[in-house]
Chain A
């Protein structure tokens, strides 16, 4: 009986989540420029259009650049924060962890308005750097959590052993800590990348026309040009997200593997 309930719920939930996507995706291959069924044929023309039209390629490129910048910045901040917190006492650890995770709790709109105002005051504008900074604030908590979980699974005596043998803190990090917690860092990097690539609220509030990211272009396209290119971009975004999530799942399994 429980197996029946299990499989029924799996099918229903997956259906609920995937069905809307499955209904829309085929339209990316529809030669007609209207988003209607039945399909008139099968073509990759819209894919070609998206890959060549600057109206799409520029936002794609911007998203990629920002996501890479965010990954690097949040890895550094989140990684250093995780290692620092590990060195404090239990009580301090709880307080600091809560602080570093807090950006996740604040609504993105609030963060967006705050940054738009603050960056405007400082004269930072809506370019590459402001997007990277803003996205990093919301990506760092995930990186922090991923890395600190990894660090917690590490035997503290390993680092002490390294120290007793004369290894400096830097040498110990690269020869002992990093190799053993690499999945945590990698998972953190993937989290940061996906978060930035998919992020729309902060981007909408902050980006100037030249730094428009892919989600913004998609959003604008929904209003102005309701044609299959929208669906193509949606399909591409979904594929990228799915690939990264699979990568994440693989890395998290490796992260949880016993190490002593």
Chain B
């Protein structure tokens, strides 16, 4: 059941084209993230959805109604801004009550709704404070409450956690996911943080240079990236360019570092990728049919549960791989072997 339908949107700012033929289908109650680097067009798309920017061409449809040219006041979408945009001359209570007062609801109705939202974001004792007196994380929750209090059809979030520290971001990501599950409102989040996108979203639309590169669940994006850009943007990767030699069951993928039989996995791409967690580091070659490359440890990052190794291969190219850290970490300069199975490799377009 589609809630929001974005069809073939182009957006020009003078001579610059910010969006190229962008199309997305968002189901009611879904948590969708627009993920991409700066300048990818994700914020432009959000502004168009909010009604702050007109499209050059294309349509936005909500439950069948064309809302492309609808003013923001009439859209009934909640918006959480990057800087929160809380009204400094009003208390937390009055900030959250604002959209209800605009809708001329009765005092008791307003009071009931505001209190329930304060409860939802766990800020009940702060009702009478001014926004300036709150921490960043608290302000973000007020902004969230204010955007949800009037039961919007869609909640739009513009990088709401970019100003917060890592621990706070993790906590708020969980809270946001819980709130989404509780309320069932359609959420559209914009971020450049791929971890955040993976933690919270039902589906992620990866954007680059104004185009949607891939739109799928986090799992599909990770295991079946459509392009090298997506493969490298979502998670860490080792990418190899090469050529397919031969065909059928004897086909091999030939690259500067290794040859790999691809016949039985049916891969035809000239670029292939292996995730660092699919490669194993050993001190001696395992000789079990996997592709094995001799390498030297350049550095390692110890995270307690495991270590991430940065290696150089014989031809000087880089490789990153995870290794277990229970019995210690391979020292810098150590000569080791890294192995991976052909079936774990991912062909890129």
> Taking beta carbons and an 8 Å cutoff, which residues of A are in contact with B?
155, 157-158, 160-168, 171, 175-176, 179-180, 259-260
Q: 10 A-B residue contacts at CB 8 Å?
A: A157-B83, A158-B85, A160-B85, A164-B72, A165-B146, A165-B150, A166-B73, A166-B76, A167-B98, A260-B88
Partner of B50, one of A164, A166, A180: A164
Interface positions, chain B 154-196, Cβ under 8 Å from A, are: none
A114 to B138, CA, bound (A): 60
| B41 interface hit (Cβ, 8 Å) | no
Distance in Å from the Cβ of A183 to the closest Cβ of chain B?
Answer: 12
Distance in Å from the Cβ of B93 to the closest Cβ of chain A?
Answer: 15
Distance in Å from the Cβ of A61 to the closest Cβ of chain B?
Answer: 38
Are A166 and B88 in contact, CB atoms less than 8 angstroms apart? Answer: no
Q: Given A155-B83, A157-B83, A160-B72, does the pair A166, B89 have CB atoms closer than 8 Å? A: no
A78 to B21, CA, bound (A): 43
Distance in Å from the Cβ of A106 to the closest Cβ of chain B?
Answer: 36
Are B73 and A163 in contact, CB atoms less than 8 angstroms apart? Answer: yes
One digit per residue, 1 when the CB lies within 8 angstroms of any chain A CB and 0 when it does not, for chain B 111-155 equals 000000000000000000000100000000000001100100000
> Taking beta carbons and an 8 Å cutoff, which residues of B are in contact with A?
50-52, 71-79, 81, 83, 85, 87-89, 98-99, 102-103, 132, 146-147, 150
Q: Which residues of A contact B77 (CB under 8 A)?
A: 164
A50 to B51, CA, bound (A): 62
Partner of A166, one of B85, B146, B150: B150
Partner of A165, one of B51, B88, B98, B132: B98
Q: Which residues of B contact A168 (CB under 8 A)?
A: 73
Which chain B residue shows the least CB distance to A163? B72
Are A161 and B79 in contact, CB atoms less than 8 angstroms apart? Answer: yes
Partner of B103, one of A161, A166, A259, A260: A166
Q: Which residues of B contact A155 (CB under 8 A)?
A: 83, 85
Are A167 and B102 in contact, CB atoms less than 8 angstroms apart? Answer: yes
Distance in Å from the Cβ of B312 to the closest Cβ of chain A?
Answer: 47
Kindly name the residue among B71, B79, B81, B85 whose own CB sees the greatest number of chain A CB atoms within 10 A.
B85
Which chain A residue shows the least CB distance to B78? A164
Question: Lowest 5 A-B CB distances belong to which pairs?
Answer: A165-B99, A157-B85, A164-B79, A161-B85, A163-B72
Are B52 and A160 in contact, CB atoms less than 8 angstroms apart? Answer: yes
A161 to B52, CA, bound (A): 10
A163 to B146, CA, bound (A): 13
Are B81 and A180 in contact, CB atoms less than 8 angstroms apart? Answer: no
A171 to B87, CA, bound (A): 14
Which chain B residue shows the least CB distance to A160? B52
A113 to B52, CA, bound (A): 48
Q: Which residues of A contact B71 (CB under 8 A)?
A: 163
Q: Which residues of B contact A166 (CB under 8 A)?
A: 73-74, 76, 99, 102-103, 150
Distance in Å from the Cβ of A155 to the closest Cβ of chain B?
Answer: 7
A158 to B81, CA, bound (A): 9
A175 to B88, CA, bound (A): 12
A163 to B81, CA, bound (A): 13
Are B87 and A158 in contact, CB atoms less than 8 angstroms apart? Answer: yes
Q: Which residues of B contact A260 (CB under 8 A)?
A: 88, 132
Q: Which residues of A contact B83 (CB under 8 A)?
A: 155, 157
Are B87 and A165 in contact, CB atoms less than 8 angstroms apart? Answer: no
Kindly name the residue among B71, B72, B74, B78 whose own CB sees the greatest number of chain A CB atoms within 10 A.
B72
Are B102 and A165 in contact, CB atoms less than 8 angstroms apart? Answer: yes
Distance in Å from the Cβ of B153 to the closest Cβ of chain A?
Answer: 12
Q: Which residues of B contact A160 (CB under 8 A)?
A: 50, 52, 72, 79, 81, 85
Q: Which residues of A contact B74 (CB under 8 A)?
A: 166
Are A180 and B89 in contact, CB atoms less than 8 angstroms apart? Answer: yes
- Known: A163-B52, A164-B50, A165-B79; 18 extra A-B contacts, CB below 8 A, are A155-B85, A157-B85, A160-B50, A160-B79, A161-B81, A163-B72, A164-B51, A164-B72, A164-B79, A165-B98, A165-B150, A167-B102, A175-B98, A176-B87, A179-B89, A259-B88, A260-B88, A260-B132
Distance in Å from the Cβ of B95 to the closest Cβ of chain A?
Answer: 9
Q: Which residues of A contact B98 (CB under 8 A)?
A: 162, 165, 167, 175
Q: Which residues of B contact A163 (CB under 8 A)?
A: 51-52, 71-73
Kindly name the residue among B74, B75, B78, B98 whose own CB sees the greatest number of chain A CB atoms within 10 A.
B98
A259 to B78, CA, bound (A): 24
A6 to B147, CA, bound (A): 55
A164 to B282, CA, bound (A): 57
A180 to B130, CA, bound (A): 14
Q: Given A160-B52, A163-B73, does the pair A180, B88 have CB atoms closer than 8 Å? A: yes
Distance in Å from the Cβ of A159 to the closest Cβ of chain B?
Answer: 9
Q: Which residues of B contact A259 (CB under 8 A)?
A: 88
Q: Which residues of A contact B102 (CB under 8 A)?
A: 165-167, 171
A143 to B103, CA, bound (A): 34
A160 to B78, CA, bound (A): 11
Q: Which residues of A contact B99 (CB under 8 A)?
A: 165-167
Distance in Å from the Cβ of B12 to the closest Cβ of chain A?
Answer: 16
Kindly name the residue among A162, A164, A167 whose own CB sees the greatest number of chain B CB atoms within 10 A.
A164
A164 to B152, CA, bound (A): 10
Which chain A residue shows the least CB distance to B143? A161
A160 to B88, CA, bound (A): 15
Q: Which residues of A contact B81 (CB under 8 A)?
A: 157, 160-161
